[in-house]
Structure 1
Amino acid sequence: MPNSPYEIETLAEFDQVVRDGGSLCGFRVQSVDLSGRVETLMGVDVHGAVFLGCAMPWEAEYRVQSAGALVFPVVPDLPFDPYRGSLYTPEELFAGLAGGYAGTPDARTYAWFERTKAEHDIFAAVVRGMHDESMSNVLDEAIRGARVVGVMGGHALGRGRPDYLAAAGLGRTLARAGYTVATGGGPGAMEAANLGAYAAPFQDAMLPEAAELLAAAPSFEPSVTDWARAAFAVRERWPDGGSSVGIPTWFYGHEPPNAFASRIAKYFTNALREDGLLARATAGVVFLPGAAGTVQEIFDACTPNYYGSRGEPRPMVLVGREHWTERFPAWQLLGALARGRAMEARIALVDEVAEVPDVLKTLGG
């Protein structure tokens, strides 16, 4: 048996493991359709293996359990896969958008979440937990070794506003500098930063042109359908954009994910999603103007920096001097907490997003 569990997430990987070693001992087989591998399952060594949501005929399931494997069955009638072995894509979450957002997997999953949460269904809670742990697992795999910069900011920032274009410019600059841009994956400032990363491979003129097209549907309210369709129209005009990460949540399911984050880790549990985003922002976090949610994120990031619980403090850059010193004076409290501690040299307040890349480098990001 292997010293540590190994994961199999595709049918090709399953076949390769069987060919190479002839044993599935200790492996975790995650959401792979094994309906066509009955003969293999009837003969291969599976002691200590775990099958998570793998479709297989009853006789194969009976055999692998009898031979010492643990089988977590496929859960019927769910609009999502609780054992999935890959991040979401915008195309997957918005499938069926032509018929309206309400029929998409994203909207149907939110409706399921709201219903089961209200019913206090313990089985649904277990399913949600399995899903979110699967998300964390594949997210870690997807960004391993990357220099991740988190970009936080308010969801209310409308397309067409100058500060939306500025936030998009920040995302583009960070992506071109070799950082992986990660956001909360929703609308507003989050979408702008993901859009900027998407625009990174194109000529500079693409970004203002795309922003102008998006401005025709400036907000996801009142129509998520129109808002999302505008984003996909931009993606169709400029295909094969740059990569970035979005980490949204169905807890705020009335806010849809944006279509410019190429890799999406969507969670049911907002606290797990928030902490996960900040913990993975290894090269620092940029806080654009926002309200209560962004203020919370500032101090969520501050706490491990203050106590050193994640090692060396990570850079924190607040953008908008008036916003963070007068409207929501988070900077003064952040500075007071940092005084005399290692994190003091890793925080900065700037006026404009154009200052951020150089400041990040100065802070060690």
Structure 2
Amino acid sequence: MATLPPAHRPPGPRGHGREIHTLAEFDAAAARPGSLTGHRIQSIDLTGRTFTLLTAVTTEAVFLGCRMEPEAAAKVRADGALVFPPVPELPFDPYRARLYTPEELYEGITDAGYGGTPDARAYAWFGRTRADGDILSSMLRSLHDDAVSDALDELLDGARVVGVMGGHAMGRGTEAYAGAARLGRSLARAGLTVATGGGPGAMEAANLGAYLAPFEDAALTSALDLLARAPSFTPSVTDWARAAFAVRDLWPHGGDSVGIPTWFYGHEPPNPFADHIAKYFANAIREDGLLARSTAGIVFLPGAAGTVQEVFDNATPNYYGSRGDPTPMVLVNRAHWTEHLPAWPLLEALAAGRPMAARITLVDSIDEAPDALERLAKA
């Protein structure tokens, strides 16, 4: 939701109880004494509520992307409400009140292929506007990303979130992919909310494991075999995504997890196994937000530059204590992190003599990670 000056913020943490996301919530609020005073109404079609808007008290209310009849819009503005109108012909809703779902981002992929999906169209818009210097485009991106952050905070309120980081190049059909899926399944079965960067490879595998956690172990084995027929999102995102949705169709209503991808890396499509997708335009906000929300710790699987960056982006607040107590960090694959990309020696040297030293560890295999994470959490 758009950030407002302090004098106009509703009481309570993040305005809980004052944000209206559905018509049912709108009707309930409008029926109470004081009506809609001070409420924040996000992205609702109110064209069928003209009489209510004409008779309600809307002083200091904020309407974000709500469709209204002209007379209703004029009346609420006259009351002193702040109205952010819908933006026509935009391939995304900058005021959205909820996170994305896989079905929403991939709508139409069965018939038209990936190029016609809302995800692809939003990336195409981003490609056209990211460098044009148009303040309207940059403002719309900022509004969208702030709304996504607001929805993400509401979803994760009180959850024990564990991040799983790793490279996008990890292919379906490999043992590494299967191991990352087992990891996601183990973490989800332990009552943790799995959060990833939301893309392919290790990220998809961890979300897949969390999705299939409620089912028998044989479901994961079968799903891995099916997915191996489309091992990578290159050269065809369409085939890659359709294989994932085929798995979802065979095992519907799986477990929840979170994916936090970005259109900044438009060549990396979001994976369909995270039921809650917080997709951002600004990669820096997405990166920091993913790490900061992983309050139960982070498992770092082998990866390249992006994963190395995430290791030290998370190590910095642990080093300085800027987010409170250090969060657990588990690095997986000794050879990768000590020889191929020797991040572990530097991380260990940074931690020496500091509280974070008791919250970092290096393990040889991915199957050791859940126990290591639990051990560090108690340190």
Q: TM above 0.5, one fold?
A: yes
Q: Which amino acid aligns with 2:200?
A: P
Aligned CA RMSD, in angstroms, stands at: 1.0
Cross-structure match for 1:26: 38
Counterpart of 2:174 in structure 1 is 161
Structure 2 residue ranges without an equivalent (≥5): 1-7
Counterpart in the other structure of 1:37:
49
**Match of residue 77, structure 2, among 65, 68, 84:** 65
Q: Report the counterpart of residue 85 of structure 1 in structure 2.
A: 97
Q: Distance in 2 between matches of 1:219 and 1:171?
A: 19
- 2:65 counterpart letter in structure 1: G
Q: 2:331 aligns with which of 318, 328, 335?
A: 318
Pair 1:218-2:226 in alignment = no
For residues 357 and 116 of structure 1, what CA distance do their matches in structure 2 show?
A: 43
Task: Return 5+ residue gaps in structure 1 as ranges.
Answer: none
The list of structure 1 runs, each at least 4 consecutive aligned residues, that deviate by more than 6 angstroms after superposition, is none
1:229 to partner: Cα distance: 0.3
Deviation at 1:21, TM superposition (A): 2.6
The aligned residue for residue 23 of structure 2 is 11
CA spacing shift, 1:330–1:124, aligned 2, 3 Å:
same
SS at match of 2:40: strand
Q: Give the equivalent residue in structure 1 for 2:151.
A: 138
Amino acid at match of 2:66: C
Report matched runs for 1:219-298 at 5 Å. Answer: 219-298=232-311
Which residue matches 2:369?
356
- Between the aligned partners of 2:224 and 2:301, the Cα distance in structure 1 is 18
> 1:76 aligned to 82, 88, 91, which one?
88
Q: Is the partner of 2:30 in helix, strand or coil?
A: helix
Secondary structure at 1:118 match in 2: coil
Matches within 5 A, 1:200-215: 200-215=213-228
1:56 is matched with: 68
**SS state at 2:318 partner:** helix
Within 2, Cα distance between the matches of 1:357 and 1:26?
45
- Give 2:202's aligned residue: 189
Q: Aligned equivalents of 2:134 and 2:103: distance in 1?
A: 30
The aligned residue for residue 129 of structure 1 is: 142
1:20 match: secondary structure: coil
> In percent, how many aligned pairs have the same letter?
68
Q: Which residue of 1 aligns with 2:352?
A: 339
Deviation of 1:20 (Å): 2.3
Distance 1:275 1:45 in 2: 39
The 2-side partners of 1:67 and 1:260 are apart by 45
Structure 1: how far apart are the matches of 2:66 and 2:31? 19
Q: 1:22 Cα shift?
A: 4.4
Given the alignment of the two structures, is residue 199 of structure 1 paired with residue 199 of structure 2, yes or no? no
SS at structure 1 position matched to 2:31: helix
Deviations 1:152-194 (A, max 9, x none): 0000000000010000000000000000000000000000000
| CA distance in 1 between partners of 2:79 and 2:188 (Å) | 49
Q: Residues of 2 paired with 1:38 and 1:74: CA distance?
A: 17
Distance 1:3 1:166 in 2: 46
Normalising by structure 2, report the TM-score: 0.95
* 1:43 CA displacement: 1.4
The count of corresponding residues between Structure 1 and Structure 2 is 365
**How far apart are the structure 1 equivalents of 2:375 and 2:239?**
41
Give TM-score, length-normalised by structure 1: 0.99
CA deviation map 1:223-273 (0-9, x unaligned): 000000000011111111111000000000111000000100000000000
Q: Aligned equivalents of 1:3 and 1:337: distance in 2?
A: 41
Q: Distance in 2 between matches of 1:30 and 1:3?
A: 18
Letter in 2 for 1:3: P
